[in-house]
Structure formats: structure tokens, C-alpha cells
Amino acid sequence: MRRHTGQFLRRLQRERGASEHTVKAYREDLSALAEYLADEDGRTPDPAAITVADLRGYVAALGEAGYAKSSVARRMSAVRSFFKFARREGWVQASPADALRNPRKSRKLPHFLSSEEVGRLLTTPPANKPMGRRDRALLETLYSAGLRVSELVGLNDGDLDFPQGLLHVRGKGRKERLSPLGSYAADALQAWLADRKLAANEVKGDEAPVFTNKFGRRLTTRSVARMLEKHLATAGLDPRTSPHTLRHSYATHLLDRGADIRSVQELLGHSSLVTTQVYTHVSTGKLREAYEKAHPRAG
């Protein structure tokens, strides 16, 4: 196998223009497989003799050795590329790697704030200054409607429906939805809009940006992130917190308080329920509590 690997790597560099870094990574990954398959005398099998069972054993060995799923997936990518080349060259009739599936990556649980922490953050901007009132309105709106930061900075005056308590939101892929707006956010928004001044070149009327900087121009997502960093430091909250954390917190708090997952999916504007289901994992404490209260044999 080592001889065939050398031919594959030379072809990879010559025909595909692979970088030295890529060739080095492929060499290491394929050498690791060859070492695993070698017999007691160090002889490696011919590619045609390698079976699906051999490769599954190799994947299992990597897992037992503590390799991260991403590292296993990368090594299997190199193995697939090698056997694809081997089949084209006639070294094997079929690739044993075709039957393998990459290990499923575990989804990271989203970082979120407790309701008490959210309350501290929302009251941190000073209410006696125009920019403080803007920041309060901005944070209240992010949390009240569970918006993405891009959706927030894209809000225009025409998207606000105070009588109905709704926001018209333009989400990913130009999908539009209506998001409920809580009374705290509505009050904060109206206080800010009374202060807001628009730059001369900004569009007026329904197309006027809701959130602007001190020059009257539409805020950017980076400006929102910098503003949040400042208020997090003042409130003494986790610096890992991002604007998206408030969206995570919104979804988690809704589920914790009994909202059904389909409704939360609609409110977040997720096209797939799978995307929303990650929030159920951070709400298991409440589910356990409900189970222990309700089940006659829970203990």
C-alpha cells in the first residue's frame, strides 16, 4: 500500500496542484492507515486486499484512541480520495470506503443567559441618555422577538406595528415572518424613536432605519457587537455572549416556560424543526422537574 500511496500523492500534487500542506496531511493520514493494516513484519496489504471490515476496524480504533469526530472524518476523506484514485487506476474493482459513513458530529449546545442575566443586561444601558435609550431598545427588541442581528439592523419604520405588537422581519433567504413584540420592547422602541435623528442622506418614511448611529446612519452588525461587548463588561456577564446569544436565550426561555417546539420554530423562522430541536437539550432540567412532579412512580 505504501508504494501505491506514493503514486497517489505524486499525482495529487502534479495534476490537481495540491499544496504541500495538503499533500503532507494526506500522507500522514494514509500512513496511519497503512500502519494499522501492517502485519507483524511491517508489510502492508495491496489496496485490492483491503476490505470494508478493515476500514471499519480502523475507524473504531481511532474512536477508541480518543480522536475527535472531525479528525476521523478528515482521515476518512483522505482514504476515500485514495480509493477513488485506486479504482480509476485499476488497482481495485470497487472502493471499500464507499460503504463508510462519517461519524456524526455532535452538535454544540448553544450558550444562553438565564432570565435573571438577561434582565441585568437589558437594564445596563443608561436610560437618561439618547444612546443609552437606543441600546435599551435594541437589546429589548433582540430578546423580545428572538431576532438575528442582521434582521435587527435591517428593520425599517414600516416594519413596526405598535398597535398589533408585531414586527415584520426579513430573515434568511428573503423569507419574511411576523414576530410578536413585547410591551417592554415596544416602550423602549418608542422612547428611542422620539430621540432618533436621521442623516440627511438616509431614506425617510417607512424605509427609514429603526436603529441608527450617532450620525443618523443605519447601524451595522459589527456596531451592535461592539455595543454589546461594552454593556456585558458593565453588567459583569460572560464575555462569550454575542448578539445571537439573546436569540438562543429567547428560544430556551420559551421552551422552559411551556411553549411547544413547533411554535418556537415558527417564531425563530427556522425552515427545519431539526434546527430548533437543539434548544430542547438545554431545557431538560425543566422537563425532568415536570416529570418528577407529574409521574406517579418518578420517585
Of 209, 216, 211, 191, give the one whose Cα is nearest residue 127. 191
Beta bridge partners of 160: 167
Is residue 74 flagged as an active site residue? no
| Cα dihedral sign, 139-141-144-147 | negative
- Residue ranges in 208-281 assigned as alpha helix (H): 221-235, 243-256, 261-268, 273-277
Question: 232, 143 in Cβ contact below 8 A?
Answer: no
Is residue 222 flagged as an active site residue? no
Is residue 174 flagged as an active site residue? no
Which is catalytic among the residues 58, 143, 250, 279? 279
Say if strands 166-170 and 160-161 run parallel, antiparallel, or are unpaired: antiparallel
Which is catalytic among the residues 69, 217, 244, 286? 244
Which is catalytic among the residues 87, 120, 170, 270? 270
Which is catalytic among the residues 75, 196, 218, 247? 247
Which is catalytic among the residues 4, 134, 148, 248? 148
Is residue 111 flagged as an active site residue? no
Break the chain down into helix, strand, coil percent, rounded to 5. 60, 5, 35
Quote the CA–CA distance of 85 and 4 in Å, as a whole number: 10
Which is catalytic among the residues 105, 129, 172, 281? 172
Would you please indicate which residues are annotated as catalytic (active-site) residues? 148, 172, 244, 247, 270, 279
